[in-house]
Structure 1
């Protein structure tokens, strides 16, 4: 049996269950959190005593599927069973004695079509049949805040008040207890953190860890969210992945860096002979074309909340929002929805509220459509779109992304390819859930309306 001596778990091919049991015993793990996500991407769990690991792998932990948002199940339906995948086993360093594990959601002995992790696994299988894998690096931005004595949400560090706090060193040093705790927790379980910075808004940060195969990257993001929230909570703070905290702050994006690789890990998006100097292959151009062709529908999946569209605004020339609202691409152009950091692509429209499994599955589907139809993307642009008028943008044939959740949902519903690629039932459930969110939003009365109209008429 493989001797396990590190806190990072590497699942062996030989006798994985016995090796996992030894690993858990070595690290004195008492409970496993069997985890999956609902349609929103919100983590759901059951606590399972460690001695039941074999049953968790072979039979699974049972859940009432009708209680899970977006799963489209009724009280009389069979249980949703989460069958653990031992390769996902991960210690929870901030909570000694606990580890988490993910896997395949099963209903009536079939992988459940409404489980978005299963959906991403199915899309990666499409790639595997061509000998490809999608590598992704996800860049989550988040707010570290607290509530003051009056209940208002304010930065966790009360001295974080600079008008332009981007890359401010004090933002790092005065939040070191949280940032170091988070970084060390991720590094302990094998995530390679390579940079942390204070972002454009007070209390806003970004932490980056190394790219991986896209299903593992999505798993890592869910682990990151859990770790960040729990470590902040223990310090009296709140970590929020809300896309837009206020009208005057920058939003929380989650950019997706992506490249296709073959069995030898060769980057199929890279071509050093690219005359544009961007280092892109024909395959990369076709993938980009598919993403842009389906951009309005993708917006509904990568920008999934009412609040998301408060982020997708152009800002001002003095303080751009940095959020891409234009269906365009270009070399290192951060005002476009697809940026090219040489030899790979960065899809910039997504925000930190997105379900990473659903979003990544949708990007694969759109990119493969571009490849299968041999689409050509529109011409790339290196211009600052924020500084251009509507007339100038129209002359270049550049359109805007949807301006609110309803517009994005309408685009998703009209895009029949996405329903066929991701599943009619799953897309129907997603649209129903999100249209309900839109209706609830419009039934609410905001502080802005009270302030503007209380004595207006």
Structure 2
């Protein structure tokens, strides 16, 4: 992760320029002229860091941390920070089990610009002598290693959407900016300028640690925004997303706002998506998904079509991992021609077709069904696994469909023989269980545990009686 580019003091002839924009944590810690631990300690001392947040995520992607005094960095790297795994949701550990140890990776060391005196670090979750199988970041590392065996890397660009809200003393939620009330507020400049006191420090925090932010816009719902930063290797991008989520929440909180990644705020509100752009590259960085001789004129190679076929073959089970909450499926609706949902529900792909599950911006693949509640480590691991399955079995996808699905009737869609994604979390979990592939690829213990937790979540939801039911049925029968 490129975190500290212009902030590191010159320590060697290779990195003698302290304002060199090429300078990153990764190149410093791996430089043969540096002792990695000493370089990290010097960096932390130069920036008056007192505490390091040793950080990992639970099965939902929720960030967990322990504050470690900076003088303990050496033991954090050698032994790790210990956590009672039985207290972490999704870690199937008991009180008598060994601790979950987060063994720090110095290449992930990152300052927290909005919290002076603090840095964070990530690493490998260990139980005993083994990488813990229920740590989703470990799952992604494992899938990336499968790619490395072929001299490939998956480059991903994730597009997180979020709401800026406020909540009163009674728990009522509304848009943070009262003037953000246009019927069609997409790209509304006032949404940016009147909330610059939140957006600018967020931008500053991200850029200070090396994220290349290239656009911020007001999205389709009141109080909704999207921030885009440059793609990177899959693991680094997921790390970036965790840093972005933490930064956005904390900076918003400082200004009395609530930053929410809830997939769907209301029936009439556009949902928070997290589109995943993918391309495989070789050891030289060449895009293996790109082929200008593509007969469909989408710039895709045979390898890319096999990857697409793998995603489509496992689309229903994959949905449970990319759309992991009850609320996710309030976003996955069909929409109408005049008001599309921007969250396609049809298992298809097409050239720049935003109404299909997979959109093809020339020479790469965009997976459009995921939302901002997903655990990006888990979701990306599942995407790699499904795509590799298509490549290894040399699967062939159906032809692309370049029509607006929102303009078609169900009968017309059936004629095209296009299947639909699950309509709720219960259906998605059933599809995940029916597809043995993900248990084989990501581990039976992990998938079984995920299914159990999500079935409990569905059951808790199903036991609730909503206001809609009272209004609809109170005096109807």
The verdict on a shared fold, with TM-score over 0.5 as the criterion, is yes
- Give deviations 1:12-67, integer Å, cap 9, x for gaps: 22311111101101111110000000000000000000000000000000000011
Residues 192, 210 of structure 1: 8 Å contact kept: yes
Q: How does 1:414-453 map to 2 (within 5 A)?
A: 414-453=434-473
Q: CA deviation at 1:8?
A: 5.8
Structure 2 residue aligned with 1:338: 358
TM-score, normalised relative to structure 2? 0.94
Map 1:347-366 to 2 at 5 A.
347-366=367-386
Larger deviation: 387-396 or 135-144? 387-396
Q: Are positions 1:9 and 2:29 aligned together?
A: no
**1:226 is aligned to 2:242:** no
Partner SS state of residue 25, structure 2: coil
1:265 matches 2:282 = no
Task: Name the SS of the counterpart of 1:178 in structure 2.
Answer: helix
Taking the TM superposition and a 5 Å limit, the aligned residue runs for 1:194-233 are 194-233=214-253
Aligned length: 457
Aligned CA RMSD, in angstroms, stands at: 1.2
Corresponding position of 2:138: 118
**8 A Cα contact 1:38 1:44, kept in partner:** yes
- Matches of residues 82-121 of structure 1 in structure 2 within 5 Å? 82-121=102-141
Shift of 1:227: 0.2
State whether residues 29 and 106 of structure 2, in contact with CA within 8 Å, keep that contact through their aligned partners in structure 1: no
Q: Which moved more, 1:148-157 or 1:203-212?
A: 148-157
TM-score by length of 1: 0.98
Q: Which whole-Å CA distance do the structure 1 matches of 2:425 and 2:332 have between them?
A: 11
SS at match of 1:144: strand
CA shift for structure 1 position 395: 1.0
Quote how far apart the aligned CAs of 1:314 are.
Answer: 1.2
TM-fit CA distance, 1:378: 1.0
Give secondary structure in 1 for the equivalent of 2:61. Answer: coil
Is the Cα–Cα contact under 8 Å of residues 55 and 63 in structure 2 kept in the other structure?
yes
1:179 alignment partner in structure 2: 199
Shift of 1:150: 5.3
The 1-side partners of 2:72 and 2:186 are apart by 48
After the TM superposition, which segments of 4 or more aligned residues of structure 1 sit over 6 Å from their partners?
A: none
Of residues 439-448 and 81-90 in structure 1, the stretch that sits farther from structure 2 once superposed is 439-448
Q: 1:70 aligns with which of 79, 85, 90?
A: 90
| 2:241 corresponds to 1:241 | no
Corresponding residue for 2:322? Answer: 302
How many Å separate the matches in 1 of 2:49 and 2:472? 56
Distance 2:169 2:340 in 1: 32
CA contact (8 A) 1:8 1:188 kept: no
Question: Shift of residue 453 of structure 1?
Answer: 2.6
Q: Which residue of 2 aligns with 1:382?
A: 402
Q: Which residue of 1 aligns with 2:4?
A: none
Contact 1:9 1:189 in 2 (8 A): no
Q: Are the counterparts in 2 of residues 325 and 349 from structure 1 also a CA contact under 8 Å?
A: yes
Deviation at 1:220, TM superposition (A): 0.4
Cα distance in 2, alignment partners of residues 237 and 432 from structure 1 = 34
Question: Partners in 2 of 1:454 and 1:241 — Cα distance?
Answer: 33
Equivalent residue for 1:288? 308
The CA deviation string for residues 223-256 of structure 1, in whole angstroms up to 9 with x for no partner, is 0000000000000000000000000011000000
